[in-house]
Amino acid sequence: MGILTMIGIFGANGFIGRHLVARLAAGPERVRAVSRHFDPVFAATLPPEVEVVQADLADDIAMASALADLRVVVQLVSTSSPGLQNRYAVSDIRDNVLPQVSFLEACVAAKVERYVFLSSGGTVYGQPQTLPIPETHPARPLSSHGMTKLVVEQYVDMYGRLHGLPYVVLRVANPFGPGQTFRKGQGLIPALLQRHAQGLPVRIINGGEAIRDFLYIDDLTDAVAASIASPAAAMRTINVGSGEGRRIMDVIEAVEAVLGQRFAREDGGRRDSDVDANVLDITLARDLLGWSPRTSFLEGLRRTLRG
């Protein structure tokens, strides 16, 4: 009676994508994993019922084909990065915003019934006027990464209203968990581990005083799953974070405590595109998604460092 929901995960090979594929493949829905490239070990260990499609977001024809029969799209693809700061604003528009908008048009044509876009709660707001930050806070990014996320959000909203593409924008805090690698300057914990493994001191940016909102990956994939299922979430932009702020230096010390080791440190100077503090108000996520983070920071850290 009726077909099962087919969920397409675009950007399936990344840190969030891999966890999300595992999470959703364990449920009743059919899952299609789409990525520009796949790590061979990851691809080989996928359950056989997961469809694997290798296709680039910038390839309109491949995307139209990758969208066939999908009722739900989760869009995780992101080519820009907070770590690259603002050196590549123009190419971020060309390589990220342009294919995302083209893809939105393809989703409208494919009559997708739910479009979940993962945005960046850590960068779209810019310098916060209040903490925790509600979704109604002005969005004035201070980085090209945050700006491209905001711009794509706005196109998602416009296409959603003009063409009846029911979307959910999730503004995600700093996710962490097993399998996160240090790529494109993202991920504090893998960055620490990588520097330490290389025998290099850990670079302390802005004195380690910045405050961030760290969300354990299983809580994030729970929120994505809820945003696919919840009728109340349609056409909404929703913060997804732990709701708690932590000093970067406290996180470094917590990692040291769990590992039972101490990292050498060096002063990494200042980075202007970094805001002093970012903690997301997650009231709306609780109300609309019936979701709450369930993993304590320390428990998440233990699971991350165990792997």
CA–CA separation, 289 and 5 (whole Å): 19
Is the bond leading into 82 cis (omega within 30 degrees of zero)?
no
106 lies in the binding site for a second copy (CB under 8 A) = no
- Quick one: which of 113, 157, 253, 256 contacts a second copy (CB under 8 A)? 157
| Count of positions on this chain that bind a second copy (CB under 8 A) | 24
Q: Does 147 help bind a second copy (rule: CB under 8 A)?
A: yes
137-142 long-range contacts, CB within 8 A, separation 24+: 142/272, 142/273, 142/275
Instruction: Provide the terminal-to-terminal Cα distance of the chain, rounded to the nearest Å.
Output: 42
* Nearest alpha carbon to residue 214 among 237, 242, 188: 242
Q: Tell me which stretch binds a second copy (CB under 8 A): 97-105, 248-256, 287-295, 298-306.
A: 97-105
| Closest separation in Å from C-beta 56 to a second copy | 16
Exactly one of 27, 39, 129, 140 binds a second copy (CB under 8 A); which one? 140
Smallest distance, Å, CB 145 to a second copy? Answer: 11
Q: What one-character DSSP code corresponds to residue 173?
A: -
Within residues 272-301, the interface with a second copy by CB under 8 A covers: 272-273
Task: For residues 179 and 170, give the distance between their C-alpha atoms in angstroms, rounded to a whole number.
Answer: 22
Retrieve residue 3's tokens. 């077909």
Please name which of 81, 110, 70 lies closest in space to residue 15, comparing C-alpha atoms.
81
Q: Considering the rule CB under 8 A, would residue 57 count as an interface residue with a second copy?
A: no
The smaller minimum CB distance to a second copy, of residues 142 and 249, is found at 142
8 A C-beta contact, residue 61 and residue 116: no
Name the token pair of 202: 């850990």
Considering only residues 161, 271, 294, 302, which one is a binding residue for a second copy as defined by CB under 8 A?
161
- Which strand (E) or helix (H) includes residue 247? strand 246-247
Radius of gyration (C-alpha) of the chain in whole angstroms: 19
Whose tokens are 């405590």? That residue is 257
Q: Which stretch binds a second copy (CB under 8 A): 12-20, 74-82, 139-147, 224-232?
A: 139-147
Q: Is 93 in the site for a second copy (CB under 8 A)?
A: yes
Strand partners, 74: 9, 116
Range in contact with a second copy (rule: CB under 8 A) among 12-20, 145-153, 166-174, 279-287: 145-153
In the bound state with a second copy, the residue whose beta carbon lies nearer, of 86 and 194, is 86
* Amino acid sitting at position 273: S
Q: Tell me which of 45, 65, 129, 154 binds a second copy, using CB under 8 A.
A: 154
Q: Minimum Å distance from CB 141 to a second copy?
A: 6
| 249 touches a second copy by CB under 8 A | no
Q: Which residues here bind a second copy, judged by CB under 8 A?
A: 86, 89-90, 93-94, 97-98, 101-102, 105, 140-142, 147, 150-151, 154-155, 157-158, 161-162, 272-273
